[in-house]
Structure 1
Amino acid sequence: MAEFNILYWQAIPSLVEGKDDDGAHKIQLSERFQVLIDHVAMKSGLAGTDAYLDEWTRGQPEQRDGTAEDVAKAVAEELEAKFDDIRTAELAKL
């Protein structure tokens, strides 16, 4: 059993971290997530400001069966598959 946590900028995921008794495993999501974060930040007037940094949060820890690495990979793959929906939802807010 491993615990995982997602790092978000606003509602946009950026990184998945899995933890178990053997340690932690982090997976940075693909560059397109960071491009989306930067775009939304610029359009919101938050790029390069302390307010930008204040928008980073960690989601609630959740648990899944598997190792930290396997869980982090699975969650990252799920988020990658949802990118278009995440992008559409975030751009609709602008």
Structure 2
Amino acid sequence: MVNVSVKCIHCRSENVVKMGKQPTNGTPRCKCNTCGKTFQTTYKNNGATPQTKQQIIKMSLNGSGIRDISRVLAISQNTVMSVLKKQKSSS
């Protein structure tokens, strides 16, 4: 049996437990016991990764438009708008 160490993508803690699977595509989900956030071990949708979301915010702060961001990152314009709206409401 092989044990794979999974680290939280938010706080880098190894205090992670399994939390089922995604109903849509069956990828495993995990929950961090340190920060309490959930995440997937692998992402099939490029626009759903935290790194892509951070890149969207950085590009928009540097003056890039929605179409430019979606073209460069190869994601939908709707994804870019969704991330920016969520960021605006949480700030």
- Bigger Cα Rg: 2
User: Which one scores higher on RCO, CA 8 angstroms, separation ≥ 6?
Assistant: 1
- Same fold? TM cut 0.5: no
TM-score by length of 1: 0.24
